[in-house]
Copies of this chain bind each other. A is one copy, B any other.
Amino acid sequence: MSGKRLRKSATDLKSLAAQLGVSQSTVSRALHGHPAIPETTRRRVQSAADAAGYRPNARARSLAIGKAEAIGLVFPLERLQLPETNFVDVLAGISTVVTERNYSLLLSPFMDDETAVLRKLASSKAVDGVIITRPLVDDPRIALLNSLGLPYVVHGRTEVDAPFSYVDTDNDNSFERLTGLLLDYGHRRIVAVNGLAHFRYAAARAAAFHRAFAARGLSARAEAVEFVSMTEQTGYETALRHLRGANRPTAFVCGSVFQARGVYRAIAACGLAVGKDVSVVAHDDGVRGVTALELMPPLTATYTPIRKSGELLAATLIDLIEGKRNSPSRTIMPFDLILRGSVQVA
């Protein structure tokens, strides 16, 4: 019962070494391709290890080398529960690279206290670094992580004045381009259906919107920017409010294809036609199953597949952990502006 369990695959270094008649260090070295080990013994050890299905105990190895060879992804659990999110796509990208680089990925959701999760991850040394997402304009996590000494990469930027690595969508340029496009087509009454104001990306997009006006000697009313959540329903409601108000807008810039879908629906509900009576443009994250191309008419959009950002996030963090870079890495993803049928001259 509590005696020795027989365990067939439980080969460890010690028994492997004993079986081969060499010391543990020799086996360990051979398996790690240590230069001092001659090819003959290396092969002998390797094949014995393969035969036994030996794999170093990850916990022991971690403890010895002082690294977990694992990273954590810290996120609000909610992002796995709500349907309209690009989170899964980011996760897919992260997942791919983490696997390629032979790291493990620890999923660390939180309900409300992200800080606690971060502290725990840092002090328990369960991971070598973390990816955090959706930074606020002025994000307190940066200071915390810096003081904790836990390596991290942010998906998105923040205005905090401290060095940190990030991968971000090019919100500034994409929104300036989208807005500029509409302006150049002669639109003036444009509404921006933007994200919630405390997120840095939404702030950046709002600024870009105004910048596009200013660059043409124009100016947008402040009320032209709506800071709302990233859902179709919100897009719908927001657009409807404007379409039914006085001074009907002739165009909308949307933060996501989700919102754009809602805007399309609102336009239809008013008996108007997208790309004819009202123009619509958006930023497209290339989220699974949410394609700008399949809307009717196809949606003009700036495009950056967000899965790619996930891949870069993981690669950047692992490089950071492995000391392959010293200075903060700052990546702003390039985008394509793809013209489709949802825009027409005003």
A interface residues (Cβ-Cβ under 8 A, vs B)? 7-11, 53-60, 62-63, 68, 70, 77, 80-84, 88, 91-92, 95-96, 99, 104-111, 119-120, 122-126, 147-149, 288-290, 307
Contact = CB atoms under 8 A, between A and B. Distances in A.
Contacts of A8: 147, 149
Contacts of A125: 57-59
Contact of A60 (B7, B63, B105, B119): B63
Where chain A touches its partner, the secondary structure class is mixed
Nearest to A55: B123
Given A9-B122, A95-B77, A105 B104 contact: no
Copies in the complex: 2
B9 A148 contact: yes
A106 B105 contact: yes
Nearest to A62: B59
Contact of A99 (B53, B81, B109): B109
Given A57-B63, A83-B288, 6 more contacts: A9-B122, A9-B123, A58-B125, A77-B96, A80-B95, A84-B289
A107 B307 CA distance: 17
A57 B109 contact: no
Given A80-B91, A96-B77, A9 B68 contact: no
A56 B124 contact: yes
A17 B272 CA distance: 73
A62 B57 CA distance: 11
